[in-house]
Amino acid sequence: MSNPPRPRSARILIVEDELILATTLKEILESLGYTVTGIAASFEATLDQVAQDRPDLALIDVRLPGLRDGIDAATILSETFQIPVLYLTGQADRDTLKRVYQSRPSVYLRKPVSREELAVAIALVLRLNE
């Protein structure tokens, strides 16, 4: 499958507390031609990263350590900064899905996700938010 077209120099923030997965995602995104603005492993680190270098898109895991999770971070990124959010998570219970839906994400993907699925989802989100 060929890679979908992507906006020039799109910048993506990874919000993921599992270092191995975050590193793998970074490698995939860079191989697709995207710039990774940073990797954040908590709610607070996410807001710090956005303050330092505002991305065009955030890939966010629902489950993060601490009192505030990825859904809280996604809500702020979306509502305050108008940054589109792509959830990439293994969480699919009813309560989580309800909170995800209320946060108005651009896309919700379940782990594990293939490189191709990720590429298509990112291209669609970025295209819709041009």
Residues 65-98: tens digit of each pLDDT: 999 999 999 999 999 999 999 999 988 899 999 9
Pairwise CA distance, residues 79 & 31, whole Å: 30
Is the pLDDT at 51 greater than 90, yes or no?
yes
Q: What's the pLDDT score for residue 128?
A: 85
Pairwise CA distance, residues 36 & 55, whole Å: 8
Answering whether pTM is above 0.75, one says: yes
10: left (phi over 0), alpha (psi -120 to 50) or beta: beta
What is the DSSP pairing of strand 57-60 with strand 85-89? parallel
Q: What's the pLDDT score for residue 5?
A: 56
Pairwise CA distance, residues 85 & 70, whole Å: 10
Residues 90-121: tens digit of each pLDDT: 888 999 999 998 888 889 999 999 999 999 99
* Residue that is written with structure tokens 């971070």 in the block: 73
pLDDT band at 129 (very low <50, low <70, confident <90, very high): confident
